[in-house]
Chain A
Amino acid sequence: MAITRRMFLKRGALSGVAAASIVTGSKKAAASITATDEYGSIIDLTKCDGCINYDRPFCLAACKDKNKDNFPEPEKPIMDYWPQTKHEDWSDKRDLTDRLTPYNWIYVQHLEVEYQGKKIQVHVPRRCMHCDNPACAGLCPFGVNNKMPEGPVIIDTDICMGGAKCRDVCPWEIPQRQAGVGLYKKIAPKFAGGGVMYKCDMCYDLILKGEEPACVGVCPQNAIMFGPKKEMQEYARNWAKTNQGYIYGDVENGGTSTFYLSSLPFTAINKAIKEQEVDGKPGRPTMEVGIENYLEEPASLAKGLVIAPLAGVMAAGLTAYKIMQGGAGDEDDQA
Chain B
Amino acid sequence: MKMIRHNLAIRFTHWVTALSIFVLLFTGFGQMPMYRRYNVDTLPGLKWSSDFLITLNIHYIAAAILIFISLYYLAYLLFTKRWDILPKKGDVKESLIIMAAMVGLAKEPDNDKFLAEQRLAFAVTAFSVLILIITGLLKVYKNLPMVSFSAKTIFWLAQLHNLFTFILLFSIIIHLLAFLYKDNRFLVPSMFTGKISRSYVEQRHKLWLARIEGEQVPANVVVEVLDDNINTVAKEENEEIIEEIDDIMEKTNEAEGIEL
Residues of A that sit less than 8 Å from B by CB: 81, 83-84, 132-133, 137-144, 146-149, 154, 156, 159, 163-165, 168-169, 192, 194, 254, 293-295, 297-299, 301-302, 304-305, 307-313, 315-317, 319-321, 323-324, 326-327, 329-335
Q: Is the CB of A335 within 8 A of B228?
A: yes
Q: Is the CB of A312 within 8 A of B70?
A: yes
Secondary structure dominating the interface of B: helix
Residues of B contacting A332 with CB < 8 Å? Answer: 212, 218, 221, 224
Residues of A contacting B142 with CB < 8 Å? Answer: 138
Check: B144 CB closer than 8 A to any chain A CB: yes
Q: What is the CB-to-nearest-CB distance from B6 to chain A, in angstroms, rounded to a whole number?
A: 8
Residues of B that sit less than 8 Å from A by CB: 3-9, 31-34, 37-39, 52-53, 56-57, 60-61, 63-65, 67-76, 79-80, 113, 137, 140-146, 148, 151, 154-159, 162, 194, 212-213, 218, 220-221, 224-225, 227-228
Q: Is the CB of B7 within 8 A of A141?
A: no
Q: Is the CB of B57 within 8 A of A297?
A: yes
Residues of B contacting A304 with CB < 8 Å? Answer: 60-61, 64
Q: Is the CB of A133 within 8 A of B72?
A: no
Residue ID in chain A nearest B154 by CB atoms: A143
Q: Taking A132-B145, A298-B57 as contacts, is the C-beta distance between A83 and B39 under 8 angstroms?
A: yes
Q: Known pairs A132-B145, A302-B144, A329-B4. 6 more at Cβ < 8 A?
A: A84-B37, A299-B144, A311-B71, A312-B75, A332-B218, A334-B212
Q: Taking A305-B60, A334-B213 as contacts, is the C-beta distance between A146 and B37 under 8 angstroms?
A: no
- Tell me the bound Cα distance from A305 to B165 in angstroms: 19
Q: Is the CB of B60 within 8 A of A141?
A: no
Q: What is the CB-to-nearest-CB distance from B191 to chain A, in angstroms, rounded to a whole number?
A: 14
Residue ID in chain A nearest B80 by CB atoms: A320
Q: Is the CB of B143 within 8 A of A138?
A: yes
Q: Is the CB of A309 within 8 A of B68?
A: yes
Residue ID in chain A nearest B82 by CB atoms: A331
Q: Is the CB of A312 within 8 A of B8?
A: no
- Tell me the bound Cα distance from A31 to B100 in angstroms: 74
Q: Taking A323-B7, A329-B4, A329-B7 as contacts, is the C-beta distance between A254 and B75 under 8 angstroms?
A: no
Residue ID in chain B nearest A132 by CB atoms: B145
Q: Taking A169-B52, A299-B145, A309-B67 as contacts, is the C-beta distance between A141 and B57 under 8 angstroms?
A: no
